[in-house]
Amino acid sequence: MLSHIKWSMTMSGLKGMTAEKAKKCEPVLAVEGLTLWIAGEKRISDVSFRIHAGERVCLLGASGCGKSLTAKTITGTPPPGVRISGSIRVNGVEVCGKHPVVRPQAGRVATVFQDSSTALNPLMTLGKQLRLALPAACDGEITAMLEAVGLGDIPRFAARYPAELSGGQRQRLCIALAMQSSSSLLVADEPTTALDVLTQQSVVDVMRKASEARALLFITHDITVAAQLCQHALVMENGRLVESASMAQLLSQPQHPYTQRLVQAAKQAALPSQIASLCGVAV
Of 222, 228, 215, the C-alpha closest to 190 is 222
Per-residue confidence (pLDDT) for residue 137, from 0 to 100: 85
pTM: 0.83
- Mean pLDDT lowest for which of 76-85, 111-120, 252-261? 111-120
- Torsion sign over Cα 223, 225, 227, 230: negative
Specify the long-range contacts of residues 71-76, CB closer than 8 Å, at least 24 apart. Answer: 71/187, 71/189, 71/217, 71/219, 72/189, 73/34, 73/36, 73/44, 74/29, 74/31, 74/109, 74/187, 74/217, 75/100, 75/109, 75/111, 75/187, 76/100, 76/103, 76/109
pLDDT score for 148: 83
Where is pLDDT greater, at 216 or 144? 216
Would you tell me how many other CB atoms lie within 10 Å of the CB of residue 81? 8
Residue 153 CB-half CA count within 13 A = 1
Q: 116: which DSSP letter?
A: H
What's the pLDDT score for residue 201? 85
* pLDDT over 80 at 194, yes or no: no
pLDDT tens column, 37-63: 999 999 999 999 999 999 999 999 998
Q: Residue 188 corresponds to which amino acid?
A: A
List the domains of the chain with CATH numbers. 53-78+99-109+184-283 (3.40.50.300), 116-182 (no CATH)
pLDDT at 102: 94
* Angle between the N-to-C axes of helices 139-148 and 167-179, in degrees from 0 to 180, rounded to the nearest 10: 120
Amino acid residing at 180: Q
State the alpha helices, DSSP H only, in 180-272: 197-210, 223-229, 247-252, 257-269
Long-range contacts of 199-204 (CB under 8 A, 24+ apart): 199/166, 199/167, 199/168, 200/168, 200/225, 201/228, 202/150, 202/168, 202/172, 203/168, 203/171, 203/172, 203/175, 204/228, 204/229
Each residue of 211-258: pLDDT tens digit? 888 999 999 999 989 999 999 999 999 999 999 999 999 999 999 999
The pLDDT of 269-275, averaged and rounded, is 61
CA–CA dist 147, 145 (Å, integer) = 5
Average pLDDT, the chain: 86
Tens digits of residue pLDDT in 257-268:
999 999 998 888
